[in-house]
Amino acid sequence: MEDGAKKDIVPDQQTGQQTNTEYAIVSESRENAQEIFKAAANRLLDVNHWEKLCGSMSADFKLTDQDGNEIERHAEKGDHFKIDIPGPGGVEGGGYDWVLIEKIEERIDCENDIESLAIRVRPASNPNTKGNEVAHFFNEQATSSFVVERRGVQVKAGVYGRNEKPNAVIKNLVDKIRNAIIAVSAFAGISSSQWQNLSKGLLEGEKP
């Protein structure tokens, strides 16, 4: 996948933890693989329905504009996600963890029969307030990159976390403790099942 969108969307690992979660299927034909990829790309951009792909006990994802207003459309660069994870929410984030979509990358390589779409997000401040503190359990160095890609008859979806460290610089003590607990839980692999379910759901659709 290194010559697809992942090459330009996933930053180098420099500090903290990294995670890689992938799910792939091999189709019976190129035409069917193209259909699967097209559907997966639409699901990737439809952030408001990610929870249905992840299944029960998943975080709830809502797409907002740059001012924090919930919106019903495909994701665009400059939008935010507000994320309601199971458990107590952060004070700074108004009960949510916030990320900014800083890049969306689409690539088509006809020569090698590859097409891909990727979204990269980074922890951000709460756009509903005038504060500038990062409202997320990871600090602003962390990124999450969501990628779907077709190579011939194979279609793959993946989530790639980089430079993941707890957000310990926030002033609110309650949030600081909460961030440390949730970040450790994420490092321990609790979030990996969610990303595995999302990767599979992007390719196969909602669970029955």
pLDDT value of position 91: 73
Domain count, the chain: 1
Here the CATH number for the domain that contains residue 31 is 3.30.530.20
CA–CA distance, 200 with 206 (Å, rounded to integer):
9
**Residue 1 — very low, low, confident or very high, per pLDDT cuts 50/70/90?**
very low
pLDDT value of position 187: 53
CA–CA distance, 17 with 10 (Å, rounded to integer):
14
For residue 197, pLDDT over 80 is answered with yes
For residue 36, what are the CA distances in angstroms to 59, 93, 120? 25, 36, 21
Residue among 72, 92, 68, 102 nearest 82 (CA): 68
For residue 189, pLDDT over 80 is answered with no
Q: Model confidence over 171-186: pLDDT tens digits? A: 776 667 676 767 666 6
Range of the domain at 64: 5-204
Query: Tokens standing for 206?
Result: 């909602």
Q: Model confidence over 100-155: pLDDT tens digits? A: 999 999 999 999 999 999 999 999 999 998 778 898 888 999 999 999 999 999 99
Mean pLDDT of 52-75: 92
Mean pLDDT of 62-70: 96
Helices then strands, counting H and E runs in the chain, come out as 5, 7
**pTM for the model:** 0.90
What is the distance in angstroms between the CA of the first residue and the CA of the last residue of the chain? Answer: 30
The sheet with strand 97-109 has its strands ordered as 17-26, 154-164, 143-151, 114-123, 97-109, 80-84, 60-64
Phi and psi at residue 83, to the nearest 5°: -120, 125
